[in-house]
Amino acid sequence: MRWIRITFGLLVASLAATSGASILATVLPWPTEAEKVGLNGPFPVPEGPGGPLAGLVVYLSAGHGWLLHRRHHDGPPIAWGRQRGRRFGMVEDDWTAAYVADYLAPALEAEGAVVIALRERDRNPVAAISDDADISCFAEQIAARVEDPLAHEEGYLRLEPNGGAMWWLEVPYDGHWYLYSRWVDDPEHDPQAIYTVITPGEVREEVVDQTVHGGHYWPLGDYCLFGGDIVEVRLNGSGGGMLSADAVRLGGGSFHIVPEFDGKLREHTQFEVAMPHQVDALGAAQSVVEYECGNPVSDMRMRPRWASWASPEGEDAVYLSIHTNASPRGRADGLTVFAGIDRTPPTPAYPDSLRIADLMEQHIHAKVRRHDKAYRTRGARLGNYSEISPVHNELPGALLELGFHTDRREAARLQSHRFKVDATEGIVAALQVWWEERPGEMEPEPDPEMPDEAPP
């Protein structure tokens, strides 16, 4: 294809983080004429991945993570730590992130869904980033350099429909890496913009809709790469609108913070930290991060608030929240699935949430029970939880308490590969049933007046 081997020296500069997210900026020389070949579009739009969940966006929230704890959730900071303790070999905060990254998200993607993870899936403590303002980005047919607070470094390049952009990233070291792109949306932007990712091993194309989802990073897949490899990312249009060339990012990076209460530096991978500490790396409007009065939004409220902001009106999307359960007293085990309601003000569950919760409960229980007859279900219930509340979350969905980490036997179950595979199959099956039975998604009946085939 259009891949050209690039071999030149690299200069890697460390960039001081301004807002807590730690990144490495990769600075590469200006491309040669040969490397710019084929940059101008428009290009034919490649076919999507297909699959039974194609067209569905799943906002996937792995519960908890390291957090700056505040008095009454939004008051002054009082502690830095995880949200759950270690019980029988596991910590819920870590279990949910690993389960989402290693099992659930890849399974949903394999069925054709787009997964937007609310906690970083990439475990690398560094990230390589290339912005439109960097020398590691090159663009043709630039209509304007646009300042916008939703862009990385507050600006992006607006390209003519026949334009193109390319970014280079140097892989920091051998490993498993996730790649992301970011743009600013506009009704005049291309609804079928094409990102082409060129690594030494493969070429992949991803089609994105630049009329929506501006201001946050969008997944372009995961890759096994060697340190020093160059990843080239190209953006071209389908001819259907202008293009927004902003930034690309390889890797998750780290979050660091020096809390006022003790002045000590804390540093964790983005993979480990809770949602309020994801938003600088992920991208978000300021209205998501703070209330109008300036108070910070809590972890439980930030998750639905961010997803509701990121998901455009009319998007086919669901929100799934992954947790393990704790019994405050006495022995308890089994699966519980919640559809969200609220009491302030009293608000019923979305009909789709009720259906999704029912399907999740049936299918997860059935899939796990095939190999594990002792797995119990406590049923599908209504839950007054901020994360899935119809007051705070505009998306239908469910909160899954997959088992009790406070029970010795169930904690062992939760940590077994067999359980994680089976529970994942149940979640995927439940979403497939819901997605297939939705009204309006039926194949259109052929019009009997119309001939079956167009004339030659």
List of residues contacting Zn ion (CB under 5 A)? 63, 323
Q: What is the DSSP letter of 154?
A: G
Q: Which residue has the tokens 């089994």?
A: 334
- Name the minimum Å distance from CB 64 to Zn ion: 6
Question: Looking at beta carbons only, is 62 or 250 nearer to Zn ion?
Answer: 62
Rounded distance, CA 35 to CA 49, Å? Answer: 28
Q: Which residue is nearest to Zn ion (CB)?
A: 323
CB of 92 to Zn ion, least distance (A): 5
State which residue, 62 or 128, has the beta carbon closest to Zn ion. 62
Shortest distance (Å) from residue 318 CB to Zn ion: 19
Three-state DSSP class for 167?
Answer: strand
All residues at 6 or more sequence positions from 100 whose CB lies less than 8 Å from its CB, including other chains: 60, 62, 117, 119, 121, 322
> Least distance to Zn ion from the beta carbon of 307, Å?
17
Give dist(CA 407, CA 453) in Å, integer.
Answer: 62
The closest of 415, 407, 360, 369 to 98, measured between CA atoms, is 415
CA–CA distance, 376 with 336 (Å, rounded to integer): 9
Least distance CB 357 / Zn ion (angstroms):
16
DSSP state of 72: G
How far is it between the farthest Cα atoms of the chain? 77
Give the shortest CB-347-to-Zn ion separation in angstroms. 22
Question: Which residue, 63 or 163, is less far from Zn ion as judged by CB?
Answer: 63
Q: Are 302 and 285 in contact (CB under 8 A)?
A: no
DSSP characters over 92-119: HHHHHHHHIIIIIHHHHHHTT-EEEESS
Residue 5 C-beta: closest distance to Zn ion, Å: 48
Q: Which residue number, 84 or 216, has a Cβ lying nearer to Zn ion?
A: 84
Q: How far is the CB of 388 from Zn ion (least distance, A)?
A: 12
d(CA 392, CA 340): 10
Phi and psi at 410, nearest 5°, equal -75, -30
Nearer to Zn ion, 63 or 172 (CB): 63
C-beta closer to Zn ion: residue 123 or 323: 323
Minimum distance from CB of 325 to Zn ion (Å)? 7
Q: Which residue lies nearer to Zn ion by CB, 387 or 425?
A: 387
Minimum Å gap between C-beta 84 and Zn ion is: 7
Query: Residue 90, class by beta-carbon neighbours within 10 Å (0-12 exposed, 13-18 middle, 19+ buried)?
Result: middle
As a whole number of angstroms, the distance between CA 367 and CA 433 comes to 14
Retrieve residue 313's tokens: 């009106």
Q: Which residue, 121 or 323, is less far from Zn ion as judged by CB?
A: 323
Closer of 63 and 252 to Zn ion (Cβ) = 63
SS3 labels along 360-420: HHHHHHHHHHCCCCCCCEEEEEEECCHHHCCCCCCCCEEEEEEEECCCHHHHHHHCCHHHH
The closest of 419, 418, 406, 417 to 88, measured between CA atoms, is 406
Nearer to Zn ion, 83 or 162 (CB): 83
Q: Work out how close the CB of 391 gets to Zn ion at its nearest, in angstroms, rounded to a whole number.
A: 20
Nearer of residues 198 and 399 to Zn ion, judged by Cβ: 399
